[in-house]
Structure 1
Amino acid sequence: MIRSLAIAALFTTPLLAQEKAQDHLRFTNGDQLEGRFGGINPSGKIFWERPDIAAPIELQRDKVRQVVLRNARPVSPLTDPCHITLVNGDRIPGRVAAADEHEMTLESTAAGTITLPRDTIAAISPNPFGGRLLYAGPFDEKGWHIVPVDRGGDDPFAADGAGPRADNKKKPKDDEENKPAWSHAGAAWYSRGGGDALTYDAGMPDRSLLRFKLGWRSRPTVAVAFHADFTQPVPKKKEGDGDEGEDRPPVGMMPNFARLFGTAYVLNFNSGYVHLQRTGFDEEGNPEVERVRVGATTVRLPDTGDAIFEIRCDRKEGSISVYINNEFAVQWYTAEEGEAPDPSGTSYKAPGGGFGFHVQGGTTQIRISDIVVAEWNGMTDSARSMESEQQDIVLLNNGTDRFSGRVRSIHENQVEIEAKYASLKIPMQDVAEIHFAREGRRKTEETPESAITVHMQPVGRISGVPLSAAEGRMQIESQLAGKIDLDLAPAVVLEFQSTGGFLDEWEDDL
């Protein structure tokens, strides 16, 4: 966890909180250092400043894992989530000013004006996520809550049976056991299990998209709540009840989720299947659970690995869909079997706007990152279906209309696409995404060992070899975009060691 330390920040800002925000450095061996990122010189030396030392410390970049800037709070976050995606996975924030069949010009508040070869670009996202972006992170702990499992009695999923006692008084624990169930580091939440829930109220609207990247060890079972209201009614005492008259969910029963998330829908994932439940409370204020039936719920996940999960839910229609690694996995309807979708939304019994996570098991280790909550435009296609080997695909904001063909140009905020039967001009304001044909994309090269990755808020990931950094700016050499003079005001994390998977970077002391 990042500790508080009042020191001068690297970048000036009128906000006092920003002025006192510290930077946090993590070495490859797990050691940590607080202070201020002082820049990089052309030879690759990192300068680190502290108020208790006279001169900056010089550090070898190959010994540094990451630098979290200003406690992961940007000086000025990007206000527009539009971006382009390069073939290596980088996402450069900005809007396309012009494009033809050979190159594309991007205007970025973070990176200035950049001209890129067309074959380096996989996709353009003028209006990403299908609607208004509500949350992207987690770059810091603001707004997040850890809900103790005590709230629902014993932890029904603790593998070692060491959950809190039913009288809500915890047994004495040593220092190791006193570690929180969830720890935030960099731009991710880590869990070692333990039963406590992690929640955030994002104000999810009726049509919502919740996307996150989950990394795991040892066949985890993870519950994901959404449209949660986090309310906890007081159970009514029955006649003749004394002090012990409060009803509690039996140990080992699913109604415990109601104590953690309130009224919500909860998806339960494990390595072999996924199932959906609705949690809530009866008229007496006692927790209850209802399983939502569906045909096939089998999914295939490895024992150890990571995947991108996406939940698309429509409260009015009563539909809930799950996509894993951009491919459709399973769908539910909350209306009774055989009934038509309910436009009134009465069959969808989850009125809240929050979401949360719960690791079921006392020792399961997971990492949650790249969380996005946005309005959903109703698009039911998987992301993979949006790509073609030979044709460019343009998806409109309404979530249903799409055009395939060859994008000839982008000029004066209009996309010209040559389709099979006619050429069309579409205003960019009506375009959600453009995916370019796979056969026209450049093959990616191996990333140099000296490359770093800069993460920005709310959307942005730029990698390259750092040439220099000072006074809130960094110049990097990108394999695809060339030299980029990057403004670090929206940056939150500088990742110096990108070994390809979170398991290589998991800190044992988190």
Structure 2
Amino acid sequence: MIRQQTPTGTWKTSLSCLGLLWVIVMPNAQESATKPPARPPNNPVAKDMLLLKNSDQISGTLQSFQYPGVTVWQRSDIDQPIEFKSEAVDEILLGDRTKRLNIQPERVTIRLNNGDTITGNWKSLGPEHLTLNTTFAGELQIPRNRWQWASFRHSDASYLFEGPTGEEGWTVGEVNIGKLDGGQWAYRNGAFYALKAASIAKLIGMPDRMRMEFDIEWKGSLNLAVALYTDYLQPVSLADKDSEPDFGGFYSLQLTSYAVNVLMVKKKEPLQYLGMTQTPVFRQATKAHIDVRTNKANNSISLLVNGKLVKRWIDQGGFAGEGSGIRLVHQGQGALRFSNLKIREWDGRFESPPANRPQATLDLLTRRNGDKLVGSVVGSLEDRIQFKIGETITEISFDQIEKIEIGGLPSANRPVFDGEVDATLVGGGNLRFRVDTIDGNQIKASSEIYGPVNMQLPMFERLDFQRVAPAKTP
């Protein structure tokens, strides 16, 4: 890990409480390519952060929580734990737990009609329930009339890169943009965070035909530049690129609140804008799933946001990327979260994401080869789905299934009530439940969908208690 020296301190902030100053990505953006001095990588942040309704923030460690009741908070510089009324807690940002649970590969993602997204391993499907084995809560029984779709991940769909899992192997560069102070990316709970202009890069081995996915979350305006197929790990000042140290050609994918663009960047050649398009989705949200597809054979770069194709660029001069690395440059002040980076070979096919089908009368099963079957999901055996088409029941192996979309099941969104939490899982996934108690690493909770349940606190990265509806027991 290569880092520039920073004052000693702890990552003590949350996306929900920070403002972000938007700085438009333009060729005259100032990014210093000065190499910072090397130093050992920092350890992942272990402290928790407590955010209160009055906007106070307190770092430390969560010891216990009870609702109604008190939240017990421990700090190393205070002899006795501090107690707060749990009704005053707005959010808890959880640091890395040093003794993580043994996480097994999870092959299926389930979407519930209340908006929950849960990843686990499919155990069984009967007349009443879908049973899912999860790392965060063990075995969950989900009523059949509550899950809207299932998306399957296959063991033979190997990734060339998955992360981030830490700072080791990444290179942090110094970024100077106008009068803004530069900062650094920091690693926490499977994600990189940036509060100021910052750069981080890694040679990760981008294939000629690539599918690259990642998640971003921001507060305020979005302004992120992603260098694709770069061989240079330091940020490049686009205004003075010809005076920079030698670097090979790369593409700069620019994501802002108002538009997306791709620039072809080569030394001693003019910047080439491949085309800008507006992106209302970034103005209307604070997080997104990004999916980039590249194909050197036809000189193309495609961008999908939340599963929908936004733009496909063609470089008429031939594919310019000369390296195999990625560089992330956050250009501005504020908070940006980057996580779930996955890179693999791409088969050249644009598949549609799972979708809700409330108006449909039948279910839709999509095979990995693209074939679509319309019928009804009857049940499942050990490694197969039983799918009824007309009067015939067909058994289909999980290995052959891409997704299942249930027909006739509308969403049942409602406000969050007092005592409930919108929780974010480490590595992705979110769910809503009522917290009864938290003691050490154990959460005793209850859900309107799967009832009372014990959960593992180390598998969560954020607990967000929202007060948007009167107190009520669901």
TM-score, L = length of structure 2: 0.73
Paired residue for 1:168?
A: none
In the alignment, is the contact (CA less than 8 A) between 1:78 and 1:459 conserved in 2? no
Q: Where do residues 242-261 of structure 1 align in structure 2 (5 Å cutoff)? A: 251=239, 255=241
Task: Return the alpha-carbon distance in structure 1 between the equivalents of residues 215 and 355 of structure 2.
Answer: 20
Cα–Cα, structure 1 residues 70 and 327, in superposed 2: closer, same or farther, change >3 Å? closer
Which residue identity lines up with residue 328 of structure 2 in the other structure? G
Paired residue for 1:479?
A: 448
Task: Return the alpha-carbon distance in structure 1 between the equivalents of residues 386 and 244 of structure 2.
Answer: 51
Task: Return the alpha-carbon distance in structure 1 between the equivalents of residues 293 and 188 of structure 2.
Answer: 29
The partner residue of 1:104 within 121, 127, 130 is 130
The worse-fitting range, judged by mean Cα deviation, of 81-90 and 133-142 is 133-142
1:470: how far off? 2.0
Task: Return the alpha-carbon distance in structure 2 between the equivalents of residues 412 and 111 of structure 1.
Answer: 21
In the alignment, is the contact (CA less than 8 A) between 1:225 and 1:355 conserved in 2? yes
The partner residue of 1:266 within 252, 265, 276 is 252
1:415: how far off? 1.2
Q: Where do residues 111-122 of structure 1 align in structure 2 (5 Å cutoff)? A: 111-122=137-148
The partner residue of 1:313 within 284, 293, 304 is 293
In the alignment, is the contact (CA less than 8 A) between 1:264 and 1:352 conserved in 2? no
Paired residue for 2:75?
A: 50
Task: Return the alpha-carbon distance in structure 1 between the equivalents of residues 147 and 425 of structure 2.
Answer: 19
1:94 counterpart SS class = strand
Paired residue for 1:277?
A: 263
Paired residue for 2:472?
A: none
Which residue identity lines up with residue 263 of structure 2 in the other structure? Q
In the alignment, is the contact (CA less than 8 A) between 1:77 and 1:457 conserved in 2? no
Paired residue for 1:217?
A: 220
Cα–Cα, structure 1 residues 135 and 382, in superposed 2: closer, same or farther, change >3 Å? same
Q: Where do residues 55-70 of structure 1 align in structure 2 (5 Å cutoff)? A: 55-70=80-95
Which residue identity lines up with residue 209 of structure 1 in the other structure? M
Task: Return the alpha-carbon distance in structure 2 between the equivalents of residues 112 and 230 of structure 1.
Answer: 44
2:286 counterpart SS class = strand
The partner residue of 1:300 within 280, 286, 302 is 280
In the alignment, is the contact (CA less than 8 A) between 1:42 and 1:467 conserved in 2? yes
Task: Return the alpha-carbon distance in structure 2 between the equivalents of residues 23 and 260 of structure 1.
Answer: 42
In the alignment, is the contact (CA less than 8 A) between 2:422 and 2:433 conserved in 1? yes
1:329 has 2:274 as partner: no
Q: Where do residues 19-168 of structure 1 align in structure 2 (5 Å cutoff)? A: 21-41=46-66, 43-71=68-96, 75-76=100-101, 78-82=103-107, 83-127=109-153, 131-132=157-158, 145-149=171-175, 155=177, 158=178, 162=179
1:483 counterpart SS class = strand
In the alignment, is the contact (CA less than 8 A) between 2:231 and 2:322 conserved in 1? yes
1:444: how far off? 2.8
1:447 counterpart SS class = coil
Cα–Cα, structure 1 residues 447 and 148, in superposed 2: closer, same or farther, change >3 Å? same
1:208: how far off? 1.9
Q: Write the deviation string for residues 222-277 of structure 1: whole angstroms up to 9, x where unpaired.
A: 433334333579xxxxxxxxxxxxxx9773x7x48988996432222345543222
Q: Where do residues 374-385 of structure 1 align in structure 2 (5 Å cutoff)? A: 374-375=343-344, 376=346, 378-383=348-353
The partner residue of 2:231 within 229, 232, 250 is 229
Task: Return the alpha-carbon distance in structure 1 between the equivalents of residues 243 and 457 of structure 2.
Answer: 41
In the alignment, is the contact (CA less than 8 A) between 2:211 and 2:292 conserved in 1? yes
Which residue identity lines up with residue 300 of structure 1 in the other structure? P
Cα–Cα, structure 1 residues 203 and 474, in superposed 2: closer, same or farther, change >3 Å? farther
2:87 counterpart SS class = helix
Cα–Cα, structure 1 residues 276 and 372, in superposed 2: closer, same or farther, change >3 Å? same
The partner residue of 1:189 within 193, 206, 209 is 193
Q: Write the deviation string for residues 360-389 of structure 1: whole angstroms up to 9, x where unpaired.
A: xx66x5633554424355441342668574
Task: Return the alpha-carbon distance in structure 1 between the equivalents of residues 348 and 104 of structure 2.
Answer: 24
1:292: how far off? 3.3
The partner residue of 2:417 within 437, 448, 459 is 448
1:354 counterpart SS class = strand
2:399 counterpart SS class = helix
Q: Write the deviation string for residues 182-229 of structure 1: whole angstroms up to 9, x where unpaired.
A: 67788663445x5x43445555544222232344535x5543333433
TM-score, L = length of structure 1: 0.69
Cα–Cα, structure 1 residues 2 and 100, in superposed 2: closer, same or farther, change >3 Å? farther
Q: Write the deviation string for residues 467-494 of structure 1: whole angstroms up to 9, x where unpaired.
A: 1222421111112221111123433x23
Paired residue for 2:363?
A: 392
* RMSD, aligned α-carbons: 4.2
1:278: how far off? 2.5
Task: Return the alpha-carbon distance in structure 2 between the equivalents of residues 85 and 409 of structure 1.
Answer: 18
Cα–Cα, structure 1 residues 61 and 188, in superposed 2: closer, same or farther, change >3 Å? farther
The partner residue of 1:468 within 425, 428, 437 is 437
1:138: how far off? 6.9
Cα–Cα, structure 1 residues 76 and 204, in superposed 2: closer, same or farther, change >3 Å? farther
Task: Return the alpha-carbon distance in structure 1 between the equivalents of residues 351 and 45 of structure 2.
Answer: 45
**Percent of aligned positions that are identical:** 19
Paired residue for 1:237?
A: none
In the alignment, is the contact (CA less than 8 A) between 1:216 and 1:306 conserved in 2? yes
In the alignment, is the contact (CA less than 8 A) between 1:77 and 1:489 conserved in 2? no
Paired residue for 1:180?
A: 183
In the alignment, is the contact (CA less than 8 A) between 1:81 and 1:128 conserved in 2? no
**Any stretches of 5+ residues in structure 1 without a counterpart?**
6-16, 163-176, 234-247, 337-345, 501-510
Q: How many residues align?
A: 426
1:104: how far off? 0.8
2:277 counterpart SS class = coil
In the alignment, is the contact (CA less than 8 A) between 2:128 and 2:143 conserved in 1? yes
Q: Write the deviation string for residues 159-200 of structure 1: whole angstroms up to 9, x where unpaired.
A: xxx3xxxxxxxxxxxxxx6573767788663445x5x43445
Task: Return the alpha-carbon distance in structure 2 between the equivalents of residues 55 and 300 of structure 1.
Answer: 49
Cα–Cα, structure 1 residues 109 and 203, in superposed 2: closer, same or farther, change >3 Å? same
Structure showing the higher strand proportion among its residues: 2
Task: Return the alpha-carbon distance in structure 1 between the equivalents of residues 320 and 106 of structure 2.
Answer: 30
1:66: how far off? 3.1
1:417: how far off? 2.0
Cα–Cα, structure 1 residues 366 and 488, in superposed 2: closer, same or farther, change >3 Å? closer
Paired residue for 2:15?
A: none
Task: Return the alpha-carbon distance in structure 1 between the equivalents of residues 80 and 151 of structure 2.
Answer: 44
